[in-house]
């Protein structure tokens, strides 16, 4: 091997190392899943970068919408709309004092809804078409046109959608007597008709659309007239039907009146009931008088009976009898009592002087006895008188009761005679009343049928519109502008949301949790097949790897040989480009670097440096070659490469062998950096096998190529192999087409510092 062979250990004086960040403690290790910077606050510029990146999607969507609306606006047939305003009152004006035979329940809540449906009815549409003779009009019965124009292509979807919303109203079936052509014509007529009630009023706007301005006004006015005429005809027919029906009922009722009156007359003649009503009145009055007399007699008898019973009981009780009203009111008895009292007082006075046998005393005794006899006789007369009064009242009551019973029998007999008469009379009176009512109603109905009044008025007639209602150029252009912009922006952010690939350093740090070491721009020069920073690549490409080199040097504080595995999630992300250029950058910084191609399945390092593939790593591991024979010096001072060697059948087993572990350990004294280019993690397990043997793993992510979920699975697989991560590189960044998207990391004016001879 030459004198620059890496076998001899290098002293600390040779090619001094790049100064580390003082001698401070190494930074805290970064691991997968730790977001070292956190999630930055979303700024308006972030949304602008997304729009700039998706600018072609935004522009395409906006142009499609805007151009489609513009083509439709300037090619569509102008549609004119005429409006007639109708007032629908709840009640018609009454010019007579009686009501019509046919009255709608106009107070009901569904009255106006019914009128709106009538305005949109097929019968009214047919009546209008008949009145204007529009059955063969081009708008309602168009002739087939097979010509194809741009306007038709653009307006066809609009017409189709409009037809869905403006077709036949639900529930409106064609009339039985309509032909297929007539039904289609009426459907087109109704699709251009709109009935719009005015809220909180009795007004309704009827609108009709047509390419012909004059026709729209004519149809609208004709429809209003037809609606009013139909309403009047409906009322007239209802009145006529009611009048005919009343005439039939009147004739029948006249016959019933005649029959009932004849029956009353026959009964009068048969029963001699000419004055039946007067007799009934007399009998009833007499019955009432007798009933009152019996009541009075009964009351008087009860009173006299009670007085007689009371005095009869008290007849032997002289003291109680003296307080009886009839005794107290008797003058003779009271006079005799006074005389008796005087005699008894005289007797008492003489008894002290004279003896009982004295003639005066005997005389006074006889006088007292005579007075008492008179009093007792008078009391007996009073009792007998009260008894006679009681018996007389009893006889009077009995007599009146008998007379009342007889009167009741007479009244019942008279009532039995008047029952049938009353039935016949009431039937005759009822029939007469019904007949007179029908006659009055028939006359009123006949007059109301001739009365031409309507509760519907035309407030504003339709005038010929001067400006089309569709298409509205100003509104359509504004809708095209805002609608196209909204759709375009929505699509841009929708596609950005669906795109889960890693596109920026923020996403890499946020979703992968790895330190960001640098961003490598994509190369669009097809002539550069194997780009190296020392071989005519763009200045920003070279400077990006120098930035990665600087960050890599500051990310590790270890002295002596440091080994780094460079891998990616999948193929095509540029891991070999990163490995080779990083090796060159480290060598240019005065480091002794060995670049090992451990991708023994698809090796490319030997192609980049134009070295033979054999002998190489596989030859060393199987013992077919020595390491000194497999390491080749490159044109870059301080950089050696070891190709992959012969394609082995078992690369993973070779990389996991003890021989490879010992080989990696033997390189530390000879090189400052050992860079191992390994296959993608998700493709094979080679990277995971090597990852735990090195001091760090540098993860390469292809911008807009790698799904964040796939990258996370790859990092999980490496962590399971106990790998240590030094950081990640975002490779193949499209700075040429998306400079604003990555403006916070790179600007075009930065290239002024890379070019010689330009003052800074």
Distance CA 8, CA 372 (A): 187
Name residues whose C-beta falls within 8 Å of residue 329's C-beta, 6 or more positions apart in sequence: none
Distance separating alpha carbons of residues 403 and 362, to the nearest angstrom: 62
Tokens of 648: 């082995």
Least confident range of 7-21, 215-229, 482-496, 643-657 = 7-21
Q: Which of 669, 671, 607, 680 is nearest to 644 (CA)?
A: 607
Q: Is the pLDDT reported for residue 231 higher than 90?
A: no
- Residue 470: C-alpha distances to residues 67, 81, 196, 474 (Å): 18, 9, 18, 11
Closest CA to 535 of 610, 447, 591: 610
Q: Which residue has the tokens 């800074």?
A: 760
Q: Taking Cα atoms as reference points, which of 217, 213, 161, 218 lies closest to residue 191?
A: 161
Residues 261-282: tens digit of each pLDDT = 787 777 777 766 555 555 666 7
Question: In the chain, pLDDT over 70 holds for what percent of residues?
Answer: 77
Query: Residue 9 pLDDT > 50, yes or no?
Result: no
Please tell me what DSSP assigns to residue 97. Answer: S
| Residues 520/729, Cβ–Cβ less than 8 Å | yes
* Measured distance CA(247)–CA(242) in Å, rounded: 9
Query: In this structure, what DSSP letter does residue 658 have?
Result: H
Better-predicted residue by pLDDT, 226 or 19 = 226
Q: Lowest mean pLDDT: which of 59-68, 127-136, 332-341?
A: 332-341
Average pLDDT over residues 251-260: 82
380-386 — which CB contacts under 8 Å span 24+ positions? 382/311, 382/326, 382/327, 382/330, 382/333, 383/308, 383/311, 383/312, 383/315, 386/304, 386/307, 386/308, 386/311, 386/326
Q: Which residues contact 188 (CB under 8 A, 6 or more apart)?
A: 139, 140, 141
The chain-wide mean pLDDT, for the chain, equals: 77
Of 704, 709, 703, give the one whose Cα is nearest residue 544: 703
CA–CA separation, 190 and 194 (whole Å): 8
Average pLDDT estimate for 176-191: 85
**Is 14 a residue whose pLDDT tops 50?**
no
Q: 158-163 long-range contacts, Cβ below 8 Å, gap at least 24?
A: 158/72, 158/76, 163/191
Token digits of residue 621: 């591991």
Task: Kindly indicate the confidence band of residue 643, based on its pLDDT and cuts at 50, 70 and 90.
Answer: very high
Query: Which two tokens mark 81?
Result: 């709309």
Do 697 and 565 meet the contact criterion of CB atoms below 8 Å apart? yes
Task: Return the pLDDT at 528.
Answer: 75
User: pLDDT tens digit string along 675-719?
Assistant: 999 999 888 888 888 888 888 899 999 888 888 888 889 998 888
Q: Are 590 and 18 in contact (CB under 8 A)?
A: yes
DSSP secondary structure, 220-257, as one string: HHHHHHHHHHHHHHHHHHHHHHHHHHHHHHHHHHHHHH
**DSSP letter at 112?**
H
Nearest Cα neighbor of 554 from 525, 589, 578, 579 is: 589
* Cα 410 to Cα 269, 294, 404, distances in angstroms: 22, 17, 10
Find, among 433, 318, 337, 315, the residue nearest to 382 by Cα: 315
Among 540, 542, 565, CA closest to 552: 565
Residue 221 has a pLDDT of 93
**Confidence grade of residue 167 (pLDDT, cut at 50, 70, 90):** very low
Mean pLDDT of 149-159: 55
The Cα 174–Cα 305 span in angstroms is 98
- How far is Cα 199 from Cα 207, in angstroms, rounded to an integer? 16
- Mean pLDDT, to the nearest integer, of 203-225? 92
* Peptide bond just before 612 cis, omega within 30 deg: no
| CB of 32 closer than 8 Å to CB of 511 | no
pLDDT over threshold 60, residue 479: yes
**Is 50 exceeded by the pLDDT of residue 635?**
yes
Of 83-97, 295-309, 326-340, 480-494, the least confident = 83-97
Between the alpha carbon of residue 343 and those of residues 118, 205, 353, 469, the distances in Å are: 121, 124, 16, 139
- Over residues 613-625, mean pLDDT: 87
pLDDT at 446: 65
pLDDT given at position 33:
43
- Judged by phi (left if over 0) then psi (alpha if -120 to 50, else beta), residue 572 lies in left
Q: Contact 491/57 with Cβ under 8 angstroms?
A: yes
38-90 pLDDT tens trace: 445 667 777 777 777 777 888 888 889 888 888 888 888 888 899 999 998 87
DSSP-based three-state secondary structure for 596? strand
In this prediction, residue 153 has a pLDDT band, given cuts at 50, 70 and 90, of: low
Residue 96: burial class (beta carbons within 10 Å; 0-12, 13-18, 19+): exposed
Query: Does residue 189 register a pLDDT over 80?
Result: yes
pLDDT of residue 322: 64
């Amino acid at each position: 091997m030459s004198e620059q062979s890496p076998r001899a250990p290098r002293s600390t004086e040779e090619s001094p190392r790049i100064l580390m960040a003082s001698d401070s403690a190494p930074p805290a290790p970064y691991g997968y899943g730790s977001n070292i910077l956190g999630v930055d606050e979303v700024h308006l510029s972030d949304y602008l970068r997304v729009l700039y990146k998706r600018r072609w999607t935004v522009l395409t969507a906006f142009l499609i919408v805007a151009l489609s609306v513009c083509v439709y606006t300037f090619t569509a047939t102008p549609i004119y709309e005429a409006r007639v305003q109708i007032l629908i009152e709840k009640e018609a004006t009454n010019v007579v004092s009686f009501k019509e035979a046919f009255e709608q329940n106009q107070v009901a809540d569904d009255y106006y809804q019914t009128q709106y449906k009538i305005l949109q009815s097929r019968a009214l549409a047919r009546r209008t078409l008949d009145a204007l003779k529009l059955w063969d009009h081009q708008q309602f019965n168009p002739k087939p046109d097979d010509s194809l124009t741009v306007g038709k292509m653009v307006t066809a979807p609009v017409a189709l959608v409009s037809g869905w919303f403006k077709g036949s109203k639900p529930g409106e079936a064609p009339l039985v007597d309509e032909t297929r052509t007539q039904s289609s014509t009426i459907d087109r007529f109704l699709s251009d008709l709109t009935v719009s009630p005015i809220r909180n009023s009795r007004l309704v706007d009827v609108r009709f659309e047509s390419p012909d301005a004059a026709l729209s006004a004519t149809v609208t006015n004709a429809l209003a007239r037809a609606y009013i005429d139909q309403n009047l005809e409906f009322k007239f027919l209802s009145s006529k039907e009611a009048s005919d029906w009343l005439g039939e009922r009147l004739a029948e009722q006249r016959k019933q009146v005649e029959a009932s009156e004849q029956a009353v007359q026959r009964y009068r003649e048969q029963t001699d009931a000419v004055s039946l009503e007067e007799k009934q009145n007399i009998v009833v009055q007499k019955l009432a008088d007798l009933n009152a007399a019996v009541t009075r007699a009964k009351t008087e008898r009860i009173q006299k009976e009670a007085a007689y019973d009371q005095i009869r009981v008290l007849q032997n009780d002289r003291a109680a009898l003296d307080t009886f009203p009839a005794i107290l009111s008797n003058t003779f008895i009271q006079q005799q009592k006074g005389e008796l009292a005087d005699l008894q007082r005289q007797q008492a006075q003489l008894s002290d002087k004279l003896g009982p046998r004295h003639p005066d005393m005997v005389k006074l005794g006889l006088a007292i006895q005579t007075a008492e006899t008179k009093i007792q006789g008078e009391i007996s007369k009073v009792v007998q008188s009260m008894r006679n009064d009681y018996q007389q009242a009893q006889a009077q009551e009995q007599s009146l009761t008998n007379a009342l019973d007889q009167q009741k029998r007479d009244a019942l007999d008279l009532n039995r005679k008047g029952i049938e008469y009353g039935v016949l009379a009431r039937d005759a009176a009822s029939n007469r009343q019904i007949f007179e009512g029908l006659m009055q109603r028939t006359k009123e109905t006949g007059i109301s049928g001739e009365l031409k009044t309507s509760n519907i008025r035309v407030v504003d007639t339709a005038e010929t519109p001067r400006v089309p209602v569709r298409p509205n150029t100003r509104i359509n252009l504004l809708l095209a502008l805002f609608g196209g912009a909204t759709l375009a922006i929505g699509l841009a952010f929708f596609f950005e949301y669906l795109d889960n690939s890693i596109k920026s350093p923020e996403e890499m740090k946020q979703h992968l949790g790895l330190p960001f070491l640098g961003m490598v721009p994509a190369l669009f020069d097809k002539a550069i097949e194997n780009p190296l920073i020392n071989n005519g690549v763009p200045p920003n490409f070279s400077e990006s790897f120098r930035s990665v080199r600087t960050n890599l040097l500051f990310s590790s504080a270890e002295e002596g040989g440091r080994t780094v595995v460079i891998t990616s999630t999948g193929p095509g992300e540029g891991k070999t480009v990163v490995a080779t250029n990083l090796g060159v950058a480290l060598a240019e910084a005065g480091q002794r670097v060995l670049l090992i191609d451990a991708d023994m399945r698809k090796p490319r390092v030997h192609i980049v440096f134009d070295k033979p593939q054999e002998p190489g790593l596989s030859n060393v591991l199987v013992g077919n070659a020595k390491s000194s024979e497999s390491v080749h010096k490159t044109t870059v001072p301080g950089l050696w490469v070891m190709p992959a060697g012969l394609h082995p059948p078992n690369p993973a087993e070779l990389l996991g062998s003890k021989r490879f572990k010992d080989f990696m350990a033997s390189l530390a004294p000879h090189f400052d950096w050992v860079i191992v280019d390994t296959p993608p993690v998700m493709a094979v397990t080679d990277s995971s096998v090597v990852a735990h043997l090195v001091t760090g793993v540098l993860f390469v992510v292809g911008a807009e190529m790698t799904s964040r979920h796939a990258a996370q699975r790859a990092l999980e697989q490496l962590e399971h192999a106990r790998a240590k991560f030094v950081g990640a590189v975002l490779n193949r960044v499209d700075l040429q087409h998306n400079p604003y998207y990555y403006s916070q990391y790179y600007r075009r004016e930065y290239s002024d510092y890379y070019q010689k001879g330009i003052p800074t």
